Structures are given as C-alpha cells and as structure tokens.
C-alpha cells in the first residue's frame, strides 16, 4: 500500500493518516496513576528487569512516583538494567552543522527564519572537507549532519553532502557512519538519502502536545504536526528502518512528553515490528533572541528521573544525551542508561576550524553547556570505567536492524559490541590520545579482557589489538 503525503493531506492509501497521539488518553492515564504505591513501583520495575517494554500505564506509574525512596529504586533499577543490556560501552559522535538556512519559524530556535541576527551559512564542498578533517584529527568516526529546513537542502543535497563526508580521509582518519538530523522528507526523498549510505535518520517531534506544537511552530512546513509525526513512518516505507525520535523538553509538561515518546515507540513496534533505534530528550536552551519559558522547565531532579524512567520503559532503545547538558548531569545520567553522547562538540557554523573561545549565539542554533574536547570526554569516561566506542560494524556489515541483532542474539554484546568498542578505543589511543589518556585507556582494556572467560575468543581479540598497534586499522568482529 503506498502512502500519499503532502503537508496538508495525510493519507495512507485512502484511509486518513492516524494521529496516534491521543492527548486525552495520555492525560487520563497520567491522572489515574497519580501517587502510586511502592508496591506498584516495584511491580513495574520487575517487568522492566525482565526486559519487557512498559505500557503507557506502567510508564505513568514511574513518572508519577515522587517519594525519594521510589526515585532511588527507579534509578538503581535503571543502572542495573543498563549494565545488563548495554554493558560498559558508550558510543561517541559529533554533530556537524551543514547549513542554517530555514523557512520555518520555530520560536525556540536561533535558525528561525524571522531571526535576522543569524548569519546564514551553507557549507560548500571545501568547507565540508575542512570541518571533517578537523573532526577526524580529534579521533571522531561517527557524525550526525544537521540541516535547517530549506528548499536548498533537499534530499539530493543531503545525499551529496553525506557522500562528501564519507570521502574525506585524513591520515588514519575517516568517518564510518553518517547520521542525519534534518527536516522530514517524502518517500522518494528518503530513498535518495538511503542510497547515500546514511545510518540513522533523526526527527524530533519537539512536543507531542498538538496545541503547544501549533503555538511554537509559526511558519513553514514544520507547522504541520501530522506531517512531522508521520515523518519517520515515511522513512520506514522508503526502507530506512534505522530511525531516531525525540522531544524537546521544556515546551510542555515533561511527563506528557515522556508518554508521547513511549507511545511513538509503541506505534513503530506495532506497525513495523521494530522500534526506533534511538530516543533523544534535549532540554531546551537559550538561543539567539530566545529565553527559555520557566513554566515548563525540567529541573535537574526531574530530568535525571526522566532518563531513568525512559531506560526502564524501553530497555532496547538507545538513549542519546548531548552537550546541551552540563558535564555533571551527563556524568550522573550516563549511569541510568544513556548509550550515546557527543564529545568535542562545536555547533557554530564552520566551528571546528574557527577555534573560538566563546559561543556566539548569533552564529549557532542554541547554547551548549559542555564544551569539553573529545579527549577530555574520553579520558573521563575511561576513568569512570566506561569503554568509549566508535564502533560502526553492524551498520557496515549490513547487520540491519542492528538493535534487533544486539538484543535478540544471545551473547551478541559480549562477542561483538564490547570487543569492537575495545578495538576502536585502541585505534583512538594509538592515533589521537595524549600519553596520559593512552596509559589509562590501555589499563582499561587490560581490565576488560579479564572479563573474557572464553580463551579462544580472547586470543583472537588480543591478536587484533596487536595488529592495531602494528598499524592496521578498521578491524572488527
């Protein structure tokens, strides 16, 4: 059955496109599960620990659990689940802003078309080469390309820029996976970008509360709530099964948005039999000409709980945390289930080569709170016992629906993900790390090898580590 979409007309063949977000349903579930008992909280957690995805009712119980003892129980369960499902790996990436032209008017974004202070820049081929070289020189292997919404940034343009990025090889550096955060496309458009070899296509719904959505999206295609909500369904129809959803926390009630995210996951699982690959939950930041509305501000206390609840609600969906958050928040919630973070982030247009000390909001989308270099982030992860990973193996070996592979094949993480994390860490230590990080990194690798009881496998891994030290690159299981 083909899908016919235009921003004004959302149809699945001749049936109207379902808006699967029902605000009344969400509000009612939240209202009927207020002030849950400790027993209810424990029952829900027991389900999560069996690695079952939670229902909206279960999620509401955890979101409404406010007693300190309940919150501690939720956080410690999330920590345990994360350890069981993901092990100690944290995947690292960097954002690269390709263009900030935009036809939309999202009140919260520095790129909004009505913001005349923003300097409009679109990277040309040489700019892309320069930015990517600079990123490769710090050790990055995975990027997310970010675009405003503009006719110039059509599918063809996105595909061309993706190919340019893959083409930049500098010293031992190369980008092995390019993800996208751009406007929703039509089915034909998704087919074009898929051809270019993209990893995940991310679209954040921003808010699942339609009245709020309409208040903050004033102009352009993005005004259409359903066009955006169905954006990743069209990606699926075009054969892109690796998609990322998200909500911008701070526009509306955070509990409602968390329920919206879980409902979105349910939708994918019900219709496509596979959930989204990742969830992002950025908290809104100041931007050029925009101050955050305190009414829906998510406090640190609520935010850390929110992440723990999401981990328990969707055990198999990757959680992404970005440099919008300060280091101390990142450190805390890494424990509860975040599986990917960015490092050495610079969101200024051409920012990776300009080396400015301070952010200039008129040249970027919003304010970031964590401006540590990639190496500083790596070193801290290593000190805390995490294995930073630049692994891209599944995607490159066409182990599609990689989240499915990871979690459905017994021992997959131990035999593939963890060793690949170790191998990519070794590459980083050889090529980019200063001596102190190198020493700490190899100590972590040595300790991690002790976890391997299977001597034959361990020998293989050690042999590959030796080949990396001898100069070979890009080895994986």
By the criterion CB under 6 A, which residues form the site for ligand SF4?
102, 104, 106, 109, 111-112, 148-149, 222
Chain residues 283-322 in contact with ligand SAM, contact rule CB under 6 A: 284-285, 287
Q: Does 179 help bind ligand SAM (rule: CB under 6 A)? A: no
Half-sphere exposure of 194 (CA within 13 A, CB side): 20
Smallest gap, in angstroms, from Cβ of residue 473 to ligand SF4? 35
Residue 201 interface partner, choices ligand SAM, ligand SF4, none, CB cut-off 5-8 Å depending on type: none
Residue 324 interface partner, choices ligand SF4, ligand SAM, none, CB cut-off 5-8 Å depending on type: ligand SAM
Residue of this chain nearest to ligand SAM (CB atom): 366
Are 201 and 242 in contact by the 8 Å Cβ rule? The answer is yes
Q: Does 226 help bind ligand SAM (rule: CB under 6 A)? A: no
Return the residue of 206, 325, 348, 402 that touches ligand SAM, per CB under 6 A. 206
Angstrom distances, CA of residue 340 to CA of 89, 274, 278, 318, 420: 9, 20, 9, 7, 15
What the block records as the tokens of 44 is 């829900």
Report how far residue 325's alpha carbon sits from residue 305's, in angstroms, rounded to the nearest whole number: 15
Q: Which is nearer to ligand SAM, 96 or 465 (CB)?
A: 96
Smallest gap, in angstroms, from Cβ of residue 235 to ligand SF4? 17
Report how far residue 30's alpha carbon sits from residue 27's, in angstroms, rounded to the nearest whole number: 5
Q: Which is nearer to ligand SAM, 198 or 203 (CB)?
A: 203
Residue 182 interface partner, choices ligand SF4, ligand SAM, none, CB cut-off 5-8 Å depending on type: ligand SAM
Smallest gap, in angstroms, from Cβ of residue 339 to ligand SAM? 19
Q: Report the candidate in 376, 358, 413 with the shortest Cα–Cα distance to residue 391.
A: 413
Q: Which region, judged by CB under 6 A, interacts with ligand SAM, from 65-73, 113-121, 281-289, 299-307?
A: 281-289
**Looking at residue 205, what DSSP letter applies?**
-
- β-pairing verdict for 3-6 and 173-174: unpaired
CA 359 and chain centroid, separation? 23
Return the residue of 54, 81, 182, 232 that touches ligand SAM, per CB under 6 A. 182
CA 164 and chain centroid, separation? 22
Q: Is 342 helix (H, G, I), strand (E, B) or coil?
A: strand
Q: Which region, judged by CB under 6 A, interacts with ligand SAM, from 17-25, 80-88, 176-184, 380-388?
A: 176-184
Q: Does 365 help bind ligand SAM (rule: CB under 6 A)? A: yes
Q: Report the candidate in 139, 92, 136 with the shortest Cα–Cα distance to residue 430.
A: 139
Q: Which region, judged by CB under 6 A, interacts with ligand SAM, from 37-45, 202-210, 299-307, 334-342?
A: 202-210
What are the start-end ranges of the E strands in 148-242? 169-170, 173-174, 177-181, 201-202
Report how far residue 24's alpha carbon sits from residue 117's, in angstroms, rounded to the nearest whole number: 40
Tokens 């032209």: give the residue. 101
Report how far residue 400's alpha carbon sits from residue 390's, in angstroms, rounded to the nearest whole number: 18
Q: Which is nearer to ligand SF4, 172 or 221 (CB)?
A: 221
Chain residues 418-477 in contact with ligand SAM, contact rule CB under 6 A: none
Site pattern 121..160 for ligand SAM (x: CB under 6 A): -------------------------xxxx-----------
Report how far residue 402's alpha carbon sits from residue 413's, in angstroms, rounded to the nearest whole number: 11
Report how far residue 330's alpha carbon sits from residue 194's, in angstroms, rounded to the nearest whole number: 32
Site pattern 73..112 for ligand SAM (x: CB under 6 A): -----------------------------------xx---
Q: What residues make contact with ligand SAM under the rule CB under 6 A?
A: 108-109, 146-149, 181-183, 203-204, 206, 248, 282, 284-285, 287, 324, 365-366
């Amino acid at each position: 059955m083909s899908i016919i979409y235009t921003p004004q007309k959302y149809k699945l063949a001749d049936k109207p496109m379902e808006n699967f977000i029902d605000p009344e349903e969400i509000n009612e579930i939240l209202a009927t599960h207020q002030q849950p008992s400790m027993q209810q909280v424990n029952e829900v957690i027991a389900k999560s620990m069996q690695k079952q995805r939670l229902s909206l009712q279960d999620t509401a119980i955890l979101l409404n659990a406010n007693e300190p003892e309940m919150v501690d129980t939720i956080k410690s369960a999330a920590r345990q689940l994360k350890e069981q499902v993901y092990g100690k790996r944290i995947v690292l990436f960097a954002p690269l802003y390709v263009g900030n032209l935009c036809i939309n008017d999202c009140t919260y974004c520095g790129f909004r078309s009505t913001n005349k202070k923003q300097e409009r820049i679109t990277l040309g081929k040489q700019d892309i080469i320069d930015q990517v070289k600079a990123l490769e020189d710090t050790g990055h292997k995975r990027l997310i390309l970010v675009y405003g919404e503009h006719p110039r940034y059509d599918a063809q343009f996105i595909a061309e820029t993706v190919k340019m990025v893959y083409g930049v090889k500098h010293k031992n550096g190369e980008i092995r996976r390019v993800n996208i955060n751009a406007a929703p496309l039509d089915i034909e458009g998704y087919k074009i970008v898929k051809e270019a070899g993209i990893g995940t296509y991310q679209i954040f719904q921003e808010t699942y509360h339609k009245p709020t959505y309409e208040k903050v999206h004033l102009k352009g295609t993005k005004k259409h709530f359903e066009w955006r909500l169905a954006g990743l369904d069209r990606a699926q129809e075009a054969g892109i099964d690796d998609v990322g959803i998200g909500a911008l926390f701070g526009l509306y009630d955070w509990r409602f948005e968390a329920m919206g995210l879980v409902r979105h996951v349910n939708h994918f699982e019900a219709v496509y039999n596979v959930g989204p690959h990742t969830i992002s939950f950025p908290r809104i930041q100041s931007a050029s000409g925009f101050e955050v509305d305190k009414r829906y501000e998510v406090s640190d206390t609520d935010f850390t709980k929110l992440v723990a609840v999401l981990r328990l609600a969707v055990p198999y969906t990757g959680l992404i945390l970005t440099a919008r958050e300060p280091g101390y928040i990142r450190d805390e919630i890494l424990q509860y289930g975040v599986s990917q973070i960015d490092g050495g982030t610079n969101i200024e247009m051409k920012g990776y080569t300009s080396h400015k000390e301070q952010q200039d909001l008129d040249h970027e989308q919003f304010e970031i709170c964590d401006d540590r270099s990639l190496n500083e982030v790596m070193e801290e992860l290593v000190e805390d016992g995490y294995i930073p990973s630049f692994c891209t193996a599944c995607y490159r070996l066409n182990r599609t629906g990689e989240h499915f592979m990871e979690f459905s094949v017994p021992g997959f993480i131990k035999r593939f993900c963890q060793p690949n994390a170790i191998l990519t860490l070794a590459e980083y230590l050889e090529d980019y790390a200063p001596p102190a990080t190198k020493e700490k990194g190899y100590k972590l690798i040595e300790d991690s090898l002790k976890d391997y009881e299977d001597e034959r496998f361990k020998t293989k891994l050690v042999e590959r580590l030796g080949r990396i030290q001898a100069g070979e690159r890009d080895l994986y299981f």
